[in-house]
């Protein structure tokens, strides 16, 4: 049955159907054997740095930039080896990155390094903060150069267009409302990290950065930094994010269908029967992919936890026990080290696949998105910048109850560990990593249920979960972020092991090229 899509959806489909002009420039090609080894190394390295799949490429670009900027601050020296490393690790298929893109990356590196120098000359801002911002902006824009016209950006803009008028902040401006909706869409749908969010807001603030406006950008950088960071701390940001997050599932499935039929997507969305079949098929594919995604998340989490835990167990706990007891208590260290990974494996084993009823709910929402004008998915969100104030007496009661959850939750664990004859340091390390595991398990469980459309209903089970486990999850979140920043193993890999390792890759690639040249002379 043929149906007419609404104007907003017609523009979306047209953007997906738009074919990119073929590029006949010379491309970057790497040795397949070197690429195979580099790919395995990269998988192991990224497993130790717990991040969402959607931001791994950007974070890898940032990591390579940090390392190579220690050796040179010239784009012409950095760009080519940076991109070769990305192709080695198969972030991009062989011979898909053009030399014209390498030139753009080279020029961009020089531009942002010049901007960093200008900012440091004009303002007294902490140089570490400026450097972090420059690396975030640069790595994000390099990804956009290497992945132009990403459908993720097309769909994000489409979602923003639908919801920007359905979020109402009654005591603030429309500009703030739009910014908060935009941030929520990028976080909820695109899974942007802080770097990507900074990049997108920075581009909105200044537009494209060029050599003609970099003086102006440097001059106004402090006010941009203050405005953007202020948006990240907006009091109502979590309410807006949660509202948008609950709406993203049908857009993910619609994106799968449009990507599959890119170039002829309009014919699919115009036929409701074909669209229904493809959407249900996409749902099943996503459900099947959940198992693989959860498995990868668990493996990465186990590696992240195990190696970090091993450092604590051997260098901290072991040293303490040798000093206090004269020997290392290996049973407690083994239990302390193996328990968190085993808990992660248990979490993965209880995950269930969504059913057909869920797929039909998604299909109905996709039909609303495409054919209704305007598409109405949920009632509008009407909020205030700051929630209503709670009376001081009631607030004191809530704080006491919240404190009680910490005492009961952490106290119960410490009591059990004491009965198992764990020393105080071993107990502290166990609780430390149990909090991290709780947060990561929560993230994995959320990933496993990311395609399930359901309404959150308050019941005794959810009340018990919030009361006893939320403290662990919140503490674990803060600890995970802190460890990601100071993980000594990551520092060793990035600046002591990776530099000579990648140098060996480059040497063997050139050696294989030399051997091939010599063989060709014999033909």
Q: Which two tokens stand for residue 499?
A: 């530099």
Is the pLDDT higher at 298 or at 148?
Answer: 148
DSSP type of residue 167: E
407 burial class (0-12, 13-18, 19+ CB within 10 angstroms)?
exposed
Mean pLDDT of the region 215-228? 95
Tell me: cis bond preceding 374? Omega within 30 of 0 counts: yes
Assess whether pLDDT exceeds 60 at residue 514: no
Q: Are 167 and 85 in contact (CB under 8 A)?
A: no
Domain ranges of the chain: 23-148+495-523, 150-255, 271-486
| Percent above pLDDT 90 for the chain | 33
Task: Show the CA angle centred on residue 198, arms to residues 196 and 202, nearest 5°.
Answer: 120
Alpha-carbon distance of 383 to 89, in angstroms, equals 46
Q: What is the pLDDT of residue 103?
A: 93
How far apart, in Å, do the first and last CA atoms of the chain sit? 62
- Asked if pLDDT for residue 170 goes beyond 70, the answer is yes
Quick one: which of 301, 71, 124, 113 has its CA closest to 211?
113
pLDDT at 486 over 60: no
Dihedral angle over CA of 65, 68, 69, 73, nearest 10: -110
The proportion of the chain whose per-residue pLDDT surpasses 70, expressed as a percent, equals 75
Q: Which residue has the higher pLDDT, 25 or 310?
A: 25
Distance of CA 494 to the CA centre of its chain: 20
pLDDT band at 436 (very low <50, low <70, confident <90, very high): confident
Contacts of 374 (CB under 8 A, 6+ apart): 6, 8, 162
Instruction: Tell me if 145 sits within 8 A of 104, measured CB to CB.
Output: yes
403 pLDDT tier (thresholds 50, 70, 90): confident
- pTM for this structure? 0.78
Mean pLDDT, residues 173-201 = 94
Picking from 366, 393, 490, the residue whose alpha carbon sits closest to that of residue 48 is: 490
144 compared with 390, residue with greater pLDDT: 144
Mean pLDDT score across all residues of the chain: 80
Q: 46-65: per-residue pLDDT in tens?
A: 666 656 777 889 999 998 89
366 and 255 in contact (C-beta within 8 Å)?
no
- What does the pLDDT average to over 495-514? 60
Provide mean pLDDT across the span 224-237: 93
pLDDT value, residue 416:
82
Alpha-carbon gap, residue 89 to 81, rounded angstroms: 12
| pLDDT at residue number 189 | 93
**φ/ψ bin of 52: left (φ > 0), alpha (ψ from -120 to 50), beta (otherwise):** beta
pLDDT at residue number 199: 97
Q: What's the CA gap between 210 and 281, in Å, rounded? A: 45
Kindly list the distances between the CA atom of residue 519 and the CA atoms of 33, 34, 413, 523, in Å, as whole numbers in the listed order: 18, 19, 67, 7
Place of tokens 């409701």: 272
* pLDDT at residue 326 in the model: 63
149: left (phi over 0), alpha (psi -120 to 50) or beta: left
Three-state DSSP class for residue 98: strand
Q: Is the pLDDT of residue 240 over 90?
A: yes
Q: What's the pLDDT band for 473 if we cut at 50, 70, 90?
A: confident
Q: What is the pLDDT of residue 232?
A: 95
Report the pLDDT averaged over residues 100-121.
95
d(CA 106, CA 100): 10
CA distances in angstroms from 200 to 193, 218, 247, 261, 428, listed in the order given = 11, 17, 21, 28, 40
Residue 153 exposed, middle or buried by CB count within 10 Å (0-12, 13-18, 19+): middle
Look at residue 336 and tell me whether its pLDDT is greater than 70: no
Residues contacting 254, CB < 8 A, separation 6+: 155, 279, 366, 369, 370
Burial (CB count within 10 angstroms: exposed 0-12, middle 13-18, buried 19+), residue 403: exposed
* Cβ-contact 102, 80 below 8 angstroms: yes
Give the pLDDT mean for 415-440.
Answer: 77
Q: Over 80: is that where the pLDDT of 89 sits?
A: yes
Query: Residue 272: is its pLDDT beyond 80?
Result: yes
Check if the beta carbon of residue 453 is closer than 8 Å to that of residue 358. yes
Helices and strands of the chain, counted as H and E runs: 22, 2
C-alpha torsion angle, residues 285, 289, 291, 297 (rounded to 10): -160
What number of CA atoms fall less than 13 Å from residue 212's CA on the CB side? 2
pLDDT of residue 271: 86
Instruction: Residue 223: name the closest of 324, 132, 122, 310 by CA.
Output: 122
What's the pLDDT band for 504 if we cut at 50, 70, 90?
low
Mean pLDDT for 475-489 is: 64
What pLDDT, on a 0 to 100 scale, did the predictor assign at position 184?
A: 96
pLDDT of residue 192: 93
What is the structure's pLDDT at 144?
A: 93
Sequence-ordered list of residues with C-beta below 8 angstroms from that of 118, at least 6 positions apart, any chain: 214, 215, 218
pLDDT in the model for residue 330: 66
- Could you report the per-residue pLDDT of 6-48, keeping only the tens digit for each? 888 888 888 888 755 556 577 777 766 676 776 777 776 666 6
d(C-alpha 344, C-alpha 444), whole Å: 9
pLDDT band of 311, cuts 50, 70, 90: low
Of the listed ranges 10-19, 153-162, 393-402, 457-466, the least confidently predicted one is 457-466
What does DSSP assign to residue 497?
I
What pLDDT does residue 1 have?
64
């Amino acid at each position: 049955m043929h149906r007419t899509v609404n104007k907003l959806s017609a523009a979306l489909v047209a953007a997906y159907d738009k074919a990119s002009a073929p590029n006949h420039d010379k491309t970057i090609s790497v040795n397949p054997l070197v690429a195979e080894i580099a790919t395995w190394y990269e998988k192991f390295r990224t497993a130790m740095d717990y991040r969402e799949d959607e931001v791994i490429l950007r974070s890898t670009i940032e990591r390579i930039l940090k390392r190579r900027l220690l050796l040179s601050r010239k784009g012409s020296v950095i760009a080519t080896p940076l991109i070769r490393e990305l192709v080695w690790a198969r972030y991009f298929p062989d011979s898909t990155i053009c030399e014209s893109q390498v030139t753009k990356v080279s020029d961009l590196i020089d531009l942002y390094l010049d901007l960093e120098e200008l900012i440091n000359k004009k303002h007294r801002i902490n140089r570490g903060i400026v450097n972090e911002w420059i690396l975030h902006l640069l790595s994000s824009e390099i990804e956009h150069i290497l992945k132009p016209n990403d459908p993720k950006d097309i769909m994000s803009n489409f979602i923003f267009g639908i919801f920007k008028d359905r979020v109402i902040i009654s005591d603030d401006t429309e500009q703030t409302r739009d910014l908060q909706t935009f941030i929520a869409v990028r976080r909820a749908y695109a899974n942007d990290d802080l770097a990507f969010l900074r990049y997108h807001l920075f581009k909105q603030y200044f537009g494209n950065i060029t050599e003609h406006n970099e003086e102006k950008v440097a001059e106004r950088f402090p006010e941009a930094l203050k405005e953007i960071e202020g948006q990240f701390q907006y009091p109502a940001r979590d309410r807006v994010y949660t509202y948008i997050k609950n709406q993203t599932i049908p857009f993910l499935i619609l994106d799968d269908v449009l990507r599959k039929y890119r170039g002829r997507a309009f014919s699919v969305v115009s036929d409701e029967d074909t669209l229904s079949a493809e959407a249900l098929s996409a749902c099943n594919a996503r459900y099947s992919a959940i198992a693989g995604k959860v498995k990868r998340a668990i493996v990465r989490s186990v590696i992240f936890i195990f190696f970090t835990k091993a450092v604590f167990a051997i260098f901290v706990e072991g040293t303490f026990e040798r000093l206090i007891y004269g020997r290392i208590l290996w049973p407690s260290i083994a239990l302390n080290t193996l328990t968190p990974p085993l808990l992660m494996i248990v979490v993965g084993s209880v995950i269930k696949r969504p059913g057909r009823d869920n797929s039909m709910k998604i299909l109905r929402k996709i039909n609303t998105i495409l054919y209704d004008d305007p598409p109405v998915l949920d009632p509008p969100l009407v909020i205030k910048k700051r929630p209503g104030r709670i009376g001081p007496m009631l607030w004191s009661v809530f704080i006491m109850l919240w404190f009680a959850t910490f005492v009961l939750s952490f106290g119960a664990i410490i009591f059990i560990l004491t009965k198992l004859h764990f020393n105080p340091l071993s107990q502290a390390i166990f609780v430390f990593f149990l909090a991290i595991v709780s947060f990561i398990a929560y993230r994995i469980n959320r990933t496993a249920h990311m395609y399930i459309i359901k309404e959150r209903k308050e019941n005794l089970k959810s009340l018990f979960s919030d009361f006893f486990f939320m403290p662990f999850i919140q503490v674990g979140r803060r600890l995970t972020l802190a460890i990601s920043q100071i993980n000594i193993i990551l520092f060793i890999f990035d600046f002591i092991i990776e530099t000579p390792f990648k140098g060996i890759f480059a040497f063997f690639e050139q050696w294989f090229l030399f051997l091939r040249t010599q063989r060709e002379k014999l033909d």
